[in-house]
Structure 1
Amino acid sequence: MSVNWEKQEGNTGVLTVTVDSKRVDDALDKAFQKVVKQVNVPGFRKGKVPRPIFEQRFGVEALYQDALDILLPEAYSEAVEEAGIDPVDQPEIDLDDMAKGEPLTFRATVTVKPEVELGEYKGLEVEEESQEVTEEEVSEEIHRLQNEHAELTVIEEGEVQEGDTVVMDFKGFVDGEPFEGGEAENHTLEIGSGQFIPGFEEKLVGAKAGADTEVEVEFPEEYHAEELAGKAATFEVKVHDVKRKELPALDDEFAKDVDENYETFEDMKKAVRERMEQEKQQKVEMNKKDKLVEKATENATIEVPEAMVNTEVDRMLEEFGQRLQSQGMSLDMYYQFAQTDEEGMKEQFKEDAEKRVRMNMTLEAISNAENLEATEEDVEKELENMAEMYERPVDEIKQLLAMQGGTDVLKGDLQVRKAIDFLVDESKSVPASE
């Protein structure tokens, strides 16, 4: 088999492949063995028609398509390896006429992974971020915990206040007519949560339990239901109950309710601060890595093929669908809710997908330039970490990875991490600008 790669403008090229006649004939033989099982010829049992009789009756051309289906994928794969190219999309195949006993030549127009021209990536400057956790931040977190452990008490008298929870019936009208989805009974709503149309919750403030009231609002111009967008609506509301949070006292008993391991309120406060400091440190480190990767990517020159962006968009959509599924929602349900479709979602992902591709290619190029290899020892250590994290045996983790491309994918991820660590090690921290 002869192979010739001719690079063209941009990230495309033509791979010209000539397959020798013997291999063509072998593919025709395999095609015959497949096709003959389905052929009925009078005087012969099914699958037992001799090759000469088959070709006399149907012509050798009847085998060409099946032979090509057998031959082309193998020949193309071998040619790609021999040419040393890295395709990122399905090729466009143009082939000469096939003939028994003759070589076969085909041309594959291929989009390949682009070359990355690295710019400055060593000694990049990044502003220092404070890792200090203030007393105010600790107090806010404790107040959040206090709200989490608050009890709701029914208010017999008094008016609805911000933060109260109301149990109500409501029915909405537009132009005097009720609209679909605008009615519910015994619906629970926390005032200030932002769950309803802007203005609705605020206008319930001051209402009393047992009272009937009307709330007039306007649907936002960008509301997902086009027939309601921008229109004025009136809601008839019956408030059944008003519930108010009773915040627990910030004492030792509260601390024990939060976590039985706390003996005193001061124990809890100290633990909260330590956790927040750890989270702040991780956030600062992550921000630093993100900024350095972004800078290195901006300094690199890459002509990203659309095929790579489309592949990343598909991956992002799949990830998004998996997240929705874990929350009990399907993509189709989300499309209906968000008034969009698959193409609309892909368009939303496109810009971020291109950024991802650029960043990944930059990091891969840095890894290659600095010979940052992920060793088998690195892979085994990571497998052990994953096994510990997911509380699964290492062999089971390997089996799961095998279904997703094997440990080569993991090795690639580790090399990317090494490249990021390299950027951090080589970077310079500078004081934050005022």
Structure 2
Amino acid sequence: MQAQLETLSGLERRLNIVLPMADIDAQVVERLKRVARTAKIQGFRPGKAPVKVVEMSYGAQVREEVLGEQVQQNFYRAVSEQKLRVAGYPRFESVSNEGHADLFKFAATFEVYPEVKIGELADKEIEKPVTPVSDAEVGKTIEILRKQRTRFNRVEREAADGDRVIIDFKGTVDGVAFDGGASENFPFVIGQGQMLADFENGVKGMKEDETRDINVAFPDEYHSKELAGKQAVFAITVKNVAEAQLPEIDGEFAKQLGVEDGDVEKMRVEIKKNIEREVKRRLAARTKENVMQALLDATEIELPKALVELEVGRLMEQGRQDLAQRGINAKEMPLPAELFAKQAERRVALGLILAEVVKSNELDAKPEQIEAMIKEFAESYEQPEDVLKWYYESPDRLEGPTSMVLEENVVAFVLGKAKVAEKDVAFDELMGNNA
């Protein structure tokens, strides 16, 4: 084998490889002999046909198989000898052997992984969010849990803010009904913004079995272009008015939250532990994002187009699966590749940068770190030991925790190099609460 390497541009390379045709012919003959042992050829008993006869039926197929194997084997042999790291899949093409019938020539065009040099981190300032968890946050969380368990009791009075109403309605614009403008036994809670303000204000003050026509102005920016900026009339019949009743913070409430003996104080302790665990997770995610951005900002890197294209493909497939889970046919809503290009570039860049940081600074995940990560996962389960056992039953299941430990190691390393600025983040902001 002869191999000549060319640099085309940036990360793109081409290997020109020459093989003796005699070696290929010899392998074709050996392969045909093996095929002849079991080949069924008309006029001959199985395995008794001469090789020349077998070649007439199988020669082209066998030669194609041998050539394909030789291309693959010799390409990766040349790559190994040249100490190249191939990114993505190579593109093979045959090269004319005019005047050299005794040679087989082919070329492989591909990209190589870039050399990654992490920039200076000491002058980077990384924001590290901090959110304390106090009894006030526990109280807010308990109120959210109470609202999630709200019961509605029928009342014989006018509907007011916070009440749940069940209505029949039919809307018209200029006397003509429109799609989506009618429903029966439709429930909503007044004051939560589920309906347009004119609609909610019109229902407010109505009693059970009362019927009323309500004028509703659709805003100019309404999602339905057919209705945007138009006036509609809704004929509404109230079928039920129910008042919200929050559960008391008592033993029964504690049992609903999994505290078997109904101990309210124990419930508060458990809630605080869960909050602290979730706050820790969200703060770590924000800090990690800031660290990753700092690494991206500090490192100039050329990305292999092949890796970006592969990542775009993965993201598109994830998008299709997400649409399918929402009941949307991806064929009816095509996903253009450019929609995922920036995200794919960022993910590829981070993957290359993180790999270099881990390798250069010996940040590989240690067994005890992986075990500690799994134990942390298991804390929120009733049988933590079963969770631990499940992960260690198969090496594949350890890939997720291992990747997370690697990221934690990188975050800790970068924070140790850069300037860290702690920033207080309000609990409600961090948790996305409106309570």
TM-score range, shorter chain: 0.7 to 0.9
| 1:107 paired residue number | 107
| 1:404 paired residue number | none
Maintained 8 Å contact 2:89/2:306: no
**CA 1:133/1:29 → structure 2, altered by over 3 Å: closer, same or farther?**
same
Maintained 8 Å contact 1:128/1:431: yes
Number of residue pairs aligned between Structure 1 and Structure 2: 417
Sequence identity (%): 25
* 1:26-425 matched pairs, under 5 angstroms: 28-29=28-29, 32=32, 43-44=43-44, 49-53=49-53, 63-97=62-96, 102-122=102-122, 124-134=124-134, 136-159=136-159, 161-173=160-172, 176-195=175-194, 200-201=199-200, 203-215=202-214, 216-218=216-218, 221=221, 223=223, 234-251=233-250, 254-261=253-260, 265-319=264-318, 324=322, 330=324, 333-335=327-329, 341-344=333-336, 346-374=337-365, 390=387, 393=390, 396-398=393-395, 400=396, 414-425=405-416
Q: Deviation of residue 182 (structure 1)?
A: 4.2
Q: Deviations over 1:72-130 (max 9, x none)?
A: 33333433333333333332222125899844221111022222231123574334533
Secondary structure of the structure 2 residue equivalent to 1:95? strand
**CA 1:333/1:263 → structure 2, altered by over 3 Å: closer, same or farther?**
closer
TM-score by length of 2: 0.76
**CA 1:53/1:432 → structure 2, altered by over 3 Å: closer, same or farther?**
closer
**CA 1:138/1:395 → structure 2, altered by over 3 Å: closer, same or farther?**
closer
Maintained 8 Å contact 1:386/1:397: no
Give the Cα separation in 2 of the matches to 1:129 and 1:395: 33
**CA 1:63/1:416 → structure 2, altered by over 3 Å: closer, same or farther?**
same
Q: CA RMSD in A?
A: 4.3
Give the Cα separation in 2 of the matches to 1:9 and 1:186: 67
TM-score by length of 1: 0.76
Q: Deviations over 1:151-182 (max 9, x none)?
A: 211122212x3332222233344564444454
Give the Cα separation in 2 of the matches to 1:381 and 1:97: 59
Q: Deviation of residue 14 (structure 1)?
A: 0.7
Q: Deviation of residue 371 (structure 1)?
A: 3.0
Maintained 8 Å contact 2:308/2:344: yes
Give the Cα separation in 2 of the matches to 1:4 and 1:120: 37
Give the Cα separation in 2 of the matches to 1:37 and 1:205: 89
Report the more deviating stretch, 303-312 or 19-28: 19-28
Maintained 8 Å contact 1:164/1:242: yes
The letter for the 1-side match of 2:412 is D
| 1:16 paired residue number | 16
**CA 1:76/1:169 → structure 2, altered by over 3 Å: closer, same or farther?**
farther
**CA 1:74/1:132 → structure 2, altered by over 3 Å: closer, same or farther?**
same
Report the more deviating stretch, 57-66 or 78-87: 57-66
Maintained 8 Å contact 2:3/2:78: yes
The letter for the 2-side match of 1:147 is K
Report the more deviating stretch, 196-205 or 361-370: 196-205
Give the Cα separation in 1 of the matches to 2:177 and 2:313: 40
Maintained 8 Å contact 2:11/2:304: yes
Give the Cα separation in 2 of the matches to 1:170 and 1:37: 80
Q: Deviation of residue 295 (structure 1)?
A: 0.6
**CA 1:90/1:170 → structure 2, altered by over 3 Å: closer, same or farther?**
farther
Give the Cα separation in 1 of the matches to 2:152 and 2:285: 39
Give the Cα separation in 2 of the matches to 1:62 and 1:270: 72
Give the Cα separation in 1 of the matches to 2:367 and 2:119: 30
Report the more deviating stretch, 138-147 or 83-92: 83-92
Report the more deviating stretch, 191-200 or 278-287: 191-200
The letter for the 1-side match of 2:394 is I
**CA 1:287/1:213 → structure 2, altered by over 3 Å: closer, same or farther?**
same
Maintained 8 Å contact 1:214/1:236: yes
Maintained 8 Å contact 1:24/1:102: no
| 2:381 paired residue number | none
Give the Cα separation in 1 of the matches to 2:16 and 2:177: 68
Q: Deviations over 1:268-291 (max 9, x none)?
A: 445434443443334333322221
| 2:428 paired residue number | none
Maintained 8 Å contact 1:219/1:232: no
Maintained 8 Å contact 1:91/1:111: yes
**CA 1:230/1:396 → structure 2, altered by over 3 Å: closer, same or farther?**
farther
Give the Cα separation in 2 of the matches to 1:30 and 1:236: 86
Report the more deviating stretch, 247-256 or 288-297: 247-256
Give the Cα separation in 2 of the matches to 1:195 and 1:35: 72
Q: Deviations over 1:244-290 (max 9, x none)?
A: 21123445654455443575555544543444344333433332222
Secondary structure of the structure 2 residue equivalent to 1:8? strand
| 2:421 paired residue number | 430
Maintained 8 Å contact 1:80/1:86: yes
